[in-house]
Amino acid sequence: MAKVRTKDIVEKFNLELVGGEDGLHRPITTSDISRPGLEMAGYFNYYPAERIQLLGKTELSFLELLDETERKRRMEALCTDITPGIIISRDLEIPDELVEAANRTAVPVMRSDMKTTRFSSRLTNYLESKLAPTTAVHGVLVDIYGVGVLITGKSGVGKSETALELVKRGHRLVADDCVEIRQEDTDTLIGTSPDLIEHLLEIRGLGIINVMTLFGAGAVRNYKRITLCINLELWDQKKQYDRLGLEEEKMKIIDTDITKYTVPVRPGRNLAVIIEVAAMNFRLKRMGVNAAEQFTNRLSEVIEDGENEDI
């Protein structure tokens, strides 16, 4: 199923539909936008027909210099079976030849009152957001001190209970149980909640609770960039856990690597506080303050001083 159709951008940007109404349900498969200047001059060898075509003052003023036969020929070449739509900016007058070709081939022709560059930028941002690669992860997403923390782990390990404690401590819930993630850029992951379970938490023994109703609108948010993953696992005495934090484990989601910490779970450990501190420490590291490295450097200095005294 197509993520975006021409009809969606008509509604999103309040565009005026001038022709080609039969093609409003054409799919848009790329966020790239074409300004067909060379095509107006007659060069169609590398015409990116699958893109939205945006015509501004430059393209239309050149078109006026052509005779009627040539204008008709080029407008027909512009309207193909895979072209999702043609948009005219600045509320400019649309050539009759374009409207006729669009009606014949069912290519929607739309008009916007925005300037060409501004509209191109807004449309590109919208399409990149809608067409971004997406996936779903079983876990909980919480905004902790501005850090988007994805809490993962096996079912029943205590993810939702930890999220509830974090919400009580003033942090904000984004999603529970299922986190929908889209990659908006090469290093940007945005997490949201499915509409069906938005603002809801499932607590074993209590059932489903509505976090916004219980704690207010300040306890939830609709989306958050994910920068840290906390994986909860039951304590394994045979496993060696990191005690210094010198090496950072990475987790790959789609094409983006994010920092991952593995936190063992056993009775007596306050997971909410541990995750809260992990988020604060992660922020400090990004600001250039690394406690583990500072401790290692101090230890190395003490060892060197001891060796020098022995000499």
Binding-site annotation: residue ranges for Mg(2+): 160, 202
In angstroms, the Cα distances linking 144 to 1, 141, 164, 165, 175 are 35, 9, 12, 12, 13
Residues in contact with 222: Cβ distance below 8 Å, sequence separation at least 6, in sequence order:
174, 192, 193, 198
What gap in Å lies between CA 149 and CA 283, rounded to an integer? 12
Neighbouring-strand partners of residue 209: 201
Annotated binding site: which residue ranges?
153-160, 202
Which is the catalytic residue, given 159, 172, 199, 224?
Answer: 159
- Our answer to whether residue 243 is catalytic in this structure is yes
| Residue of 104, 115, 138, 269 marked active site | 138
Instruction: Give the residue numbers of the binding site for ATP.
Output: 153-160
91 catalytically annotated: no
- Of the listed 204, 238, 243, 266, which one is catalytic? 243
Residue of 136, 155, 146 lying closest to 202 (CA atoms): 155
DSSP assignment string, 192-245: E--GGGTTEEEETTTEEEEHHHHH-GGGB-SEEE--EEEEEEE--TTS---SS-
Q: Say whether 199 is catalytic.
A: no
Q: Active site includes 159?
A: yes
The rounded distance, in Å, linking the Cα atoms of 266 and 11 is 52
Q: From the candidates 7, 72, 130, 177, give the one annotated as an active-site residue.
A: 177
User: Catalytic residue positions?
Assistant: 138, 159, 177, 243
